């Protein structure tokens, strides 16, 4: 078969494979935990089968071979011929790894390709102990003769289930009538079927002998012209029983799925039930209700959504600009004759504003994906980690359907992995130790996601040993972060917060926090960059809980605009604690650093004009009051001396172009309502830069 697949084919294939691998993975994990439920086994078999079909269609022989054996193996398991043993589970996991490796090869061809032979030998052996050779020699069954067609999708394939039903009901009411009950039928042709148009025709010929067709999707004219994709919906008035009709459908070759229900009893889920974009297992499930979910979702290129978001962002900026221009007009031309017109324009603008907000929200919603998308990889990871450490961990997930902006989802993946690793590595004790302390030898690791107001809160909780504040203090002193006296003064909370200090958690195990190069400080820092936060609660002997708070979206933030050296900068409002006006004489120099006393505490100051490396390095200190923005993050606070405050504004974040590279202290850019570009200050990085400069002890620890 041709190697010159269009990249679209590759994309479609990869998406398909990804879905199936996900459902395989969760299925295998479930199989290990709960044994072979018939439904589960059938689901696993189906996933392997679909993978085989997809890889054959795509023309990927190594994958075909592997999935063929996997399919047979899972078939054997679901027939009860093959027992579920730990060896089987391990082999299934290995197969999953192999499939992942094979998939990766398509994206980035490696120097040495993955050798499937050893695994194939194991699979064949499991399939038929003693007959390994034969099994290897037997080629996987594929459609013979003709190269297989990649799946083609007509636009009609994804029509909303609801609207078809409505249309069919309408047609039924206005129709000439006939005998029997009205049925809604949904048929999916096998993706490999090269001639869905012909199969559809054959099906129609059979069904019209059983009743009257009164609606179809695609419409009858299109079917007559052969314009049919792999999905088909029909409405049929028939006196035949549904099971009779269904078996009639299955007599047509290459049916992949068929559903039938009374038209009046919805085939689809009711519309008021939220329909999240679900991973593949639901699509694979045989129940009609879940099939409907699949029909109701479409795949959209993320770049397109990003682009939409960008466009709306531009519109928001324009709207803001129009507002300020209108104000200018009002100010510069205070003519009574204009007053009415201006207020009308103002009203229209407000309406445009509201519409834009709605539009923004809708687009934002469409960027939301259930957190399940990244969670699905975690059970496997936790399992592997735990077994490596000789620990027993039961990992449970709650609220996987909670939705988050896609870009945030990507940003939190690594932090989550890090935290989960910590919990398994250092939180949960070995089984013996747990037994001694009267706990269940199996530790519990619970991840919960929930939507709270404008935030998403993820909690990761273990019932392990907890973190001892005393030991953290000792370690901090030993590392020279604190003097023994300072350490004594810290409350337990403050002491525990030390694990978020840069360089702290990459230490030895005393901190009870995994030292894998990435410290907890980086985790917190990365979360802060996207406007999130991380807190930790721990009780010695009882366990530890991490709370991750995340914004719903990244694209639009509330910010405080400030001016420094005639340039406007934006500070995300989430970091702003307060703004002050102080006299230059209030500033005291302590250890070469400017500070002020704020409510009895020392607050270090920095002059943004210096940090931002502008040419005018000295600001006027002629006795007038100066502006200070107090920002805080991760227990540290800092006063930023700015030239003036402009006000709060909703800003749309634009990533800095590659040509700007990584500018220290700047996290992005936005366009202001007057059209000027403003840079967004990266507060966490600013704070840590200040710390690294050696004035760490001057940045007051927050009480």
Footprint of other proteins (CB under 8 A): 1-4, 6, 144-147, 149-150, 152, 194-195, 197-198, 201-202, 224, 226, 251, 253
Other C-beta atoms lying within 10 Å of the C-beta of residue 552: 20
Q: Catalytic residue at 225? A: no
Looking at the Cβ atoms of 35 and 253, the one nearer to other proteins is 253
Q: Which of 49, 190, 230, 418 is catalytic?
A: 49
CA neighbours within 13 Å on the CB side: how many for 356?
20
Instruction: Report the distance separating Cα 574 and Cα 581, nearest Å.
Output: 20
Instruction: Report the distance separating Cα 125 and Cα 121, nearest Å.
Output: 6
Instruction: Report the distance separating Cα 19 and Cα 541, nearest Å.
Output: 40
In sign, the C-alpha dihedral spanning 206, 211, 212, 216 is: negative
3-state secondary structure 288-334: HHHHHHHHHCCCCCHHHHHHHHHHHHHHHHHHHHHHHHHHHHHHHCC
CB of residue 10 to other proteins, shortest distance in Å:
14
Looking at the Cβ atoms of 251 and 693, the one nearer to other proteins is 251
Residue 321 contacts by C-beta under 8 Å, 6 or more apart in sequence? 673, 674, 675
Q: Cβ(575)–Cβ(584) under 8 Å?
A: no
Residue corresponding to tokens 């700015």: 642
Q: Which of 65, 71, 148, 159 is catalytic?
A: 71
Q: Cβ(356)–Cβ(316) under 8 Å?
A: yes
CB of residue 183 to other proteins, shortest distance in Å:
22
Q: Which helix (H) or strand (E) holds 7?
A: helix 7-34
In terms of Cβ atoms closer than 10 Å to its own Cβ (0-12, 13-18, 19+), residue 680 is: buried
Q: Catalytic residue at 71? A: yes
Looking at the Cβ atoms of 70 and 255, the one nearer to other proteins is 255
CB of residue 253 to other proteins, shortest distance in Å:
8
Other C-beta atoms lying within 10 Å of the C-beta of residue 3: 5
CB of residue 4 to other proteins, shortest distance in Å:
5
Q: Cβ(43)–Cβ(23) under 8 Å?
A: yes
Looking at the Cβ atoms of 196 and 634, the one nearer to other proteins is 196
Q: Catalytic residue at 486? A: no
Looking at the Cβ atoms of 171 and 201, the one nearer to other proteins is 201
Note the residue count of the chain: 703
Q: Which of 320, 373, 422, 526 is catalytic?
A: 422
Query: Could you give the strand order of the β-sheet that contains 601-607, starting from the edge strand earlier in sequence?
Result: 576-582, 626-633, 636-642, 601-607, 593-598, 588-590
Looking at the Cβ atoms of 23 and 57, the one nearer to other proteins is 57
Looking at the Cβ atoms of 27 and 196, the one nearer to other proteins is 196
CB of residue 145 to other proteins, shortest distance in Å:
5
Which are the catalytic amino acids? 49, 71, 422
């Amino acid at each position: 078969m041709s190697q010159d697949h269009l990249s679209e084919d590759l994309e479609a294939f990869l998406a398909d494979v990804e879905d199936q691998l996900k459902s395989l993975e969760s299925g295998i994990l479930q199989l290990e935990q709960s044994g072979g439920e018939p439904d589960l086994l059938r689901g696993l078999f189906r996933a392997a089968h679909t993978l085989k079909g997809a890889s054959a269609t795509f023309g990927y022989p190594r994958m075909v071979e592997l999935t063929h054996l996997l399919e047979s193996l899972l078939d054997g398991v679901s027939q009860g011929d093959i027992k579920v043993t730990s060896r089987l589970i391990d082999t299934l996991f290995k197969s999953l790894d192999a499939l992942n490796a094979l998939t990766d090869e398509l994206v980035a061809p490696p120097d040495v390709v993955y050798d499937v032979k050893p695994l194939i030998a194991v699979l064949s052996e499991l399939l038929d102990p003693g007959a390994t050779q034969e099994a290897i020699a037997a080629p996987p069954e594929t459609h013979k003769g003709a190269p297989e067609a990649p799946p083609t999708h007509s636009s009609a394939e994804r029509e909303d289930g609801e609207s078809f039903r409505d249309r069919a009901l309408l047609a039924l009411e206005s129709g000439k009538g006939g005998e029997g009950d009205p049925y809604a039928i949904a048929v999916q042709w096998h993706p490999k079927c090269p001639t869905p148009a012909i199969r559809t025709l054959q099906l129609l010929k059979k069904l019209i002998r059983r009743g009257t067709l009164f609606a179809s999707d695609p419409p009858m004219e299109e079917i007559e012209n052969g314009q049919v994709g792999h999905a088909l919906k029909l409405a049929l008035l028939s006196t035949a029983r549904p099971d009779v009709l269904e078996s009639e459908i299955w007599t047509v070759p290459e049916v992949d799925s068929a559903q039938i229900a009374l038209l009046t009893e919805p085939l689809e889920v009711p519309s008021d039930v939220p329909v999240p974009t679900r991973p593949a297992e639901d699509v694979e499930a045989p129940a009609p209700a879940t099939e409907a979910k699949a029909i109701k979702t479409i795949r959209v290129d993320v770049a397109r959504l990003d682009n939409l978001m960008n466009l709306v962002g531009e519109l928001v900026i324009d709207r803001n600009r129009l507002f300020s221009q209108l104000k200018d007009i009002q100010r510069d031309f205070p003519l009574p004759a204009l007053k009415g017109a201006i207020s009308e324009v103002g009203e229209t603008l407000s309406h445009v504003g509201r519409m834009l907000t709605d539009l923004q929200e809708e687009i934002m919603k469409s960027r939301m994906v259930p957190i399940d998308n990244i969670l699905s990889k975690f059970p496997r990871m936790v399992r592997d980690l735990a077994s490596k450490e000789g620990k027993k961990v039961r990992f449970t997930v709650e609220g996987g359907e909670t939705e988050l902006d896609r870009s945030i989802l990507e940003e939190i993946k690594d932090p989550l992995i890090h935290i989960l690793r910590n919990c398994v590595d250092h939180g949960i004790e070995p089984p013996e130790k747990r037994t001694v302390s009267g706990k269940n030898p199996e530790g519990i690791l619970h991840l919960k996601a929930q939507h709270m107001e404008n935030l998403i809160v993820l909690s990761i909780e273990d019932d392990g040993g907890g973190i001892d504040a005393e030991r953290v203090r000792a370690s901090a002193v030993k590392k020279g972060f604190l003097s023994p006296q300072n350490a004594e003064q810290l409350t337990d909370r403050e002491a525990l917060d030390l694990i978020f200090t840069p360089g702290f958690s990459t230490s030895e195990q005393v901190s009870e926090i995994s030292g894998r190069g990435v410290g907890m400080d980086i985790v917190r820092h990365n979360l802060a960059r996207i406007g999130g936060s991380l807190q930790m609660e721990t009780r010695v002997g009882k366990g530890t809980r991490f709370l991750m708070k995340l914004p719903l979206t990244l694209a639009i933030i509330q910010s405080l605009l400030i001016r420094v050296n005639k340039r406007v900068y934006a500070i995300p409002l989430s970091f702003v604690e307060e703004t002050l006006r102080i006299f230059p004489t209030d500033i005291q120099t302590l250890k070469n650093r400017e500070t002020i006393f704020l409510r009895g505490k020392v607050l270090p100051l920095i002059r943004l004009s210096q940090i931002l490396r502008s040419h005018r390095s000295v600001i006027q200190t002629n006795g007038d009051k100066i502006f200070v923005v107090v920002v805080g993050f991760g227990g540290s606070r800092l006063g930023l001396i700015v030239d003036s405050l402009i006000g709060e504004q909703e800003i749309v974040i634009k990533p800095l172009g590659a040509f700007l590279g990584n500018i220290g202290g700047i996290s992005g850019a936005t366009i202001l309502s007057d059209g000027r570009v403003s840079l967004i200050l990266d507060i966490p990085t600013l704070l840590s830069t200040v710390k690294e400069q050696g004035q760490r002890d001057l940045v007051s620890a927050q009480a």
